[in-house]
Chain A
Amino acid sequence: MSAVGASGGSPLLAVRSLTKLFGSFAACNAIDLDIQPGEIHALLGENGAGKSTLVKMLFGVLAPTSGQILWKGEPVRIPSPGAARRLGIGMVFQHFSLFEALTVAENIALSLSPGISLSKVAEEASRLSHLYGLPLDPKAHVADLSVGERQRIEIVRALLQNPELIILDEPTSVLTPQEADRLFETLAKLKAEGRSVLYISHRLEEVQRICDRATVLRHGKVTGACDPRQETPASLARMMVGSDVASVTAAGTNTKGDVLLEARHLGVPARTPFAVALKNVCLKVRGGEVLAIAGVAGNGQGELFDALSGEYPVPEAAAVSIRGKAAGNLGITARRLMGAGFVPEERHGHAAVPALPLSDNLVLARNQSDRKTFLAGGVLGVIRHAVVRIASKRISETMDVRKSGENPAAGSLSGGNLQKYIVGRELDRQPAVLIVNQPTWGVDAGAASRIRQALVDLAKAGSAVLVISQDLDEIFEVATEIAVISEGRLSDAYPAHELTREKIGLLMGGMYGKTEGEVAHAH
């Protein structure tokens, strides 16, 4: 069924000037949306554009402030997710709600009404999973499954209710390109059966590939409704962001300097039962290089960052060296004093303390590297708040950090602005080595491009930059070399221009040197 054919009848779901106010802030402002039967409809927008709020209203998690929801032409009120399910709306959340210690069938049974036997659930689940090409073993424990498989549980769970509309929230953010392809096949099957899909994403290529129509949101308003196949990525991005996003100029012509960061046979046992062990990780980053480490979440990225930053030092001094000096057994402070800077993945509670003002969060990262400037009184260590505030202001200005006051609590900044500050805090020192984990995770497009450009510029100035990222677009924008991490193992690094998405996808699955055919059946 094509988009044109479907638009003749009445829409399955129609939304009329739906508004949600949080206080005086309009998260969704008079949204209109039509979803036809049998179409894959994209909902596009940056973080904070109101996508999640809209979807939560459709699924009964939030109550709209005003406006109407029409289901098959009838006005409806959706007070709870249960009511949404009874209407025929299913949802797959971005963050899964699964119990790791239980089996697939048990997790599915939890979402159904009590009294249905577990074996019946298992039977029905495996029937559905085969029908839609979502192979799942009902007896497997969730803890043993990959992220892609966990997502399948959520999808099967939604399908068991026989929904007419399935909402998918950023489904591919946790998948390898190959896993994503399989998901798209499933979506095509659902569409062929006449079911509708509301597909939330900010990945333009995917949307162009699989969606029949798109609604674009910005600042809580609809800024465009279009057929994504008729648009270019640039025109879609313009609708999302409201202006042209500055494209990042890559560091192609850098002069390569000495090796400034090196890991030699770095092995770290798993600290907790849910952590990943690092196995024999070797990497080298020269001055002027940006080495990007791709990989699906949960394959040892956090553990690699911990070992390289010295938050959890390793016993062997030679396993990590910074500017040619062995640093494996040194803590993060010593490594900072050797000229390294670090940006962890989690902003709140790791890179920054949300309740403390920005200036205190500057002291957080630089209390020893800038001891002479920031502290007085010798061993007493009296913080010179006035000096710190001036430095903090300088960083905010350089990185264009938008904030509500002179020195607000870090937690009051938006994700993008806080991330700009956190990156700026390190860049302000001109570190010889910068290690960044997920630099633009959950950050709006404007801030992301600013941060990426800053990383590229730092490398141009002769520093070694290591970027750990799940976002392939980002990797291709900033990297001069690319390596892939999978189950705690790091692949060799390849020059960025020699790699394709497909090759990276194979490396992500840990399929070194196997043919594509074998890979397709690996999951």
Chain B
Amino acid sequence: MRIELEKRANPSTLYSVLSPFLALGLTVIAGGIMFALIGKDPVSALYSFFIEPLLDIWSLHEIAIKAAPLILIGAGLSICYRSNNWNIGAEGQFIMGAIAGAIVPVVFHDWHSPLVLPLMLVFGMIGGALYAAIPAFLKAHMNTNEILTSLMLVYIAQLFLDWLVRGPWRSPDAYNFPVTRDFAPEAILPELIASGRANLGFAFAIIAAVGLWLMMRYTLKGFEITVLGQSERAGRFAGFSSKRMIWFSMLLSGGLAGLAGISEVSGTIGKLQPIISPGYGFTAIIVAFLGRLNPLGIIAAGLFLALTYVGGEAVQLTLSVSDKVTRVFQGLLLFFVLSCDTLIQYKIRLVFSRLGQSSEGGAH
């Protein structure tokens, strides 16, 4: 017996629109089953996971803080994925952006100027973009697979950061803890509103997502991205270069990941330390797909995934379950999004014929 996926002639438009919500529903159900299996009351667990964080100002700010990098990275990745370039290494570009941006407040910590913050942000973008330039170069000129190269570069970035904060950049005043010196006040990203910690990073995320949405919808560049993503050959016929598109999309997504990195470090953490991201670069992949690779959808998806982080922390406290539960939810969500999309486009067919029979002739 063999399982085949057969393309549906007319995939339902209704279900295509509903797919992310369907995936959400299935995730919640599967999550409830998971809570029940580990002996917790599923209803109250799901309540504290998904509802409670929405009910107080403090956790709404936390959601905005966590959504900012997810949306920034996810929006950049959506452009990449739309153009058929598969940057999986946003986590590494996030870290490299954070490191590059931190050069100013860590190395030149005696320099005090209003220029410090803008310079940090620019450096952050450049750092992320340059790190993404490595897989871009390898793909454009050596024909390597960017999925592998960009992913492997993540681990290099993580270890490089680890080495920096334990070695050359370790703060002299930190009693040998592996952290850099605290950033000076002018190197800290200002808060958005007085009521809580949410910082300008969230504004960057919204601006970037709306900007990219406008680009995709109205400009020739957006058209070029769509065409090259659907058919390289048609893009070539239109006079678009897929090589240039590799560079454009990788540098753009890398730059936005870098901006997310420096915004996180400057706005939330205030220094460099060995771990600066709970996997934002990877979670943003889920955000991009949950948001239908549409930058506006990604804003909503980013907020929801941020809720899973905050909710995960909440159930950790109230029900004393492992914080791994957050990753499980995110994994479930990606699984259901992708399978809903697949089953809307394809139907499953079981083929019972013997192998020998089915290989006869070219009856297609």
Contact = CB atoms under 8 A, between A and B. Distances in A.
Interface of A: 22-23, 56, 59-61, 80-82, 85, 91, 93, 95-97, 110-111, 113-114, 309, 311, 331-333, 336, 342, 344, 346, 349-353, 355-356, 360, 363-365, 367-368, 375, 377, 380-383
Interface stretch (B17-25, B107-115, B233-241, B318-326): B233-241
Given A365-B237, A382-B218, A93 B362 contact: yes
A82 B357 contact: yes
A27 B219 CA distance: 41
Given A110-B359, A353-B227, A383-B220, A311 B237 contact: yes
Contacts of B12: none
A114 B223 contact: no
- Choose among A56, A61, A353, A382 the residue with the greatest number of B CB atoms under 10 Å from its CB: A353
A158 to B, nearest CB: 9
Interface in B322-364: 353, 356-357, 359-364
B221 A381 contact: yes
A364 B362 contact: no
Contacts, number: 93
Interface in B198-256: 218-221, 223, 226-227, 230-231, 233-234, 236-239
B356 A59 contact: no
Contacts of B220: 363, 367, 375, 381-383
- Choose among A96, A363, A364, A377 the residue with the greatest number of B CB atoms under 10 Å from its CB: A364
A332 B233 CA distance: 12
Interface size class of B (residues with CB under 8 A): 20 to 34
Given A364-B237, A364-B238, A383-B218, A82 B360 contact: yes
Contacts of A80: 353, 357, 363
Contacts of B236: 311, 332
Nearest to A94: B362
A367 B223 contact: yes
A332 B237 contact: yes
A110 to B, nearest CB: 7
Given A360-B223, A383-B219, A111 B361 contact: yes
Given A367-B220, A381-B221, A353 B234 contact: yes
A350 B234 contact: yes
A93 B364 CA distance: 9
Contacts of A61: 363-364
| Shortest beta-carbon contacts, A-B, top 5 | A97-B362, A333-B239, A381-B220, A349-B231, A81-B363
Nearest to B226: A356
A326 B297 CA distance: 48
B237 A351 contact: yes
A407 to B, nearest CB: 15
Contacts of A113: 356
Q: Is the interface of A mostly helix, strand, loop or mixed?
A: loop
A380 B217 CA distance: 12
Given A114-B356, A365-B237, A353 B221 contact: no
Contacts of A97: 361-362, 364
B6 to A, nearest CB: 14
Nearest to B236: A311
A174 to B, nearest CB: 15
A356 B239 CA distance: 17
Given A349-B231, A383-B220, A91 B361 contact: yes
Given A81-B360, A85-B361, 19 more contacts: A56-B363, A60-B363, A61-B363, A80-B363, A82-B357, A91-B363, A97-B361, A331-B239, A336-B239, A349-B230, A349-B231, A363-B223, A367-B220, A368-B239, A375-B220, A377-B219, A381-B219, A381-B220, A382-B218
B351 to A, nearest CB: 11
B230 A356 contact: yes
A18 B302 CA distance: 55
12 contacts: A56-B363, A81-B360, A81-B361, A85-B361, A93-B362, A332-B239, A350-B233, A351-B234, A351-B237, A353-B230, A353-B234, A380-B219
Nearest to A352: B234
B184 to A, nearest CB: 38
B231 A367 contact: no
A111 B356 CA distance: 9
Contacts of B219: 377, 380-383
A382 B216 CA distance: 10
A81 B360 CA distance: 7
B223 A383 contact: yes
Nearest to A334: B239
Contacts of A59: 363
Contacts of B238: 363-365, 367
